[in-house]
Amino acid sequence: MGVGQRSTGKGGKVRRITKTKRRATFLERHIDQIWEDVQQPEGVHDGKTAPLGTTDSVQLDADLPACGRHYCQPCSRFFVSEHAQTAHEQTKSHKNRVKDLMGPRPHSNRDAELAGNMGAPDNGPKLRPHVAVPAPMAIS
């Protein structure tokens, strides 16, 4: 197989992994970032500003689909129309994302570093307190 190709296993089919597909995983917001947004009581999409972590202005942003009016907070995606958004909310990927966000806090980058022994050392609790030993008395 060449560079940038993986075999799917069955039938020897080869699928290409393009640069844009690899880059897309780093451009989208990750589950731990979205979890923090969902936990906020006031929400992150108020119609004037985009979700936390972005610098977009939703109200008149022509770069976003439908100027950013239709936003799915669990998936961190904008949609062209309300119909497209309601169709998206019926999909399996959206329902799985909502289920993931209702559980405990997902793993973050800090958790991964600690698991890989790259974070701050944890030496555990002290077994016993340090007691100063008195110096021996001099005999004169």
Tell me: pLDDT of 56 over 60. no
Tell me whether residue 129 is in a domain.
no
Over range 61-66, report the average pLDDT: 73
- List the structure tokens of 23: 């880059």
Please check whether residue 136 lies inside any domain of the structure: no
- Inside any domain, residue 34: yes
Boundaries of domain holding 10: 5-104
Q: Is residue 124 part of a domain?
A: no
Q: What per-residue string of b and e applies to 3-35 under the rule 16 or more CB within 10 Å gives b? A: eeeeeeeeeeeeeeeeeeeeeeeeeeeeeeebb
* Residue 98 belongs to some domain of the structure: yes
Number of domains in the chain: 1
- Give the rounded distance of the alpha carbon of 74 from its chain centre: 11
pTM: 0.53
Is 9 among the domain residues?
A: yes
pLDDT 10s digits, 98-111 = 998 888 888 877 88
Average pLDDT on 72-89 reads: 89
What percent of the chain lies above the pLDDT cut of 70? Answer: 74
Could you tell me if residue 52 is inside a domain? yes
Whether the pLDDT of residue 59 is over 90: the answer is: no
Is the separation of the CB atoms in 34 and 105 below 8 Å? no
**Quick one: pLDDT at residue 91?**
95
Q: Is residue 70 part of a domain?
A: yes
pLDDT in tens, 7-45: 555 666 777 778 887 777 777 788 888 888 887 766 555
